[in-house]
Amino acid sequence: MKMQLGKVIIVCGRICSGKSIVANTISKDFQYSKISFGDFIRAQAIDRKLDHTRASYQNLGQKLLSELGAQELTLSAIGFARPKSLDRLVFEGVRNLDVLNVIRNMAAKVTVIYLDVEEALRYERFLSRDSGSCSLQEFRTYDSQPIESGVDKLAESADYVIRSGELQNNAELKKTLSSIVSKA
């Protein structure tokens, strides 16, 4: 039996573009259940006793996508999240066009939000989150891993592109998201 999803919002973007903030806001303020591919991958890494590093997560994500395929990976992430309802979901961390297409085939309606954030700001966020030193070149290495290569293609499929300079504060974010969610 095929899983049927209702309204779906997908939040995608490059590393440290603000995907979690946007997805969490949609989940909390607009009552969407959140499905995080990142949370699923981190849990899989723990189960497999892998290092808790970005490189390890990226490699595992690519491996799971290759081994399971886009549909099974998506179903596994949904199963892991255990949403109360499949009527209104927000997906965070979609990094692959095949995964996007799987979700589109499962959902009644899909809205894609792409976060377009300049590298300097993403690097600044990366340094503040991942505590420790990392050169800009190392950050660029993470940003160019195979699992990240599909992210730019998602921008071409986005219904909405939010650029880093467009949202200066939380009130602006909520106003923008309210407009998007009302049309979703």
**In 82-169, which ranges are continuous DSSP H helix?**
97-106, 119-129, 136-143, 151-156
Architecture of domain 5-183: 3-Layer(aba) Sandwich (3.40)
Please tell me the predicted confidence (pLDDT) of residue 1.
46
| Phi–psi pair at 35, nearest 5 degrees | -115, 115
Please tell me the predicted confidence (pLDDT) of residue 130.
67
pTM score: 0.91
Ranges in the chain, pLDDT < 70: 1-2, 130-132, 165-168
Give the residue from 68, 70, 91 showing the smallest Cα distance to 81: 91
Structure tokens at 16: 């440290």
Please tell me the predicted confidence (pLDDT) of residue 172.
83
Structure tokens at 8: 């779906």
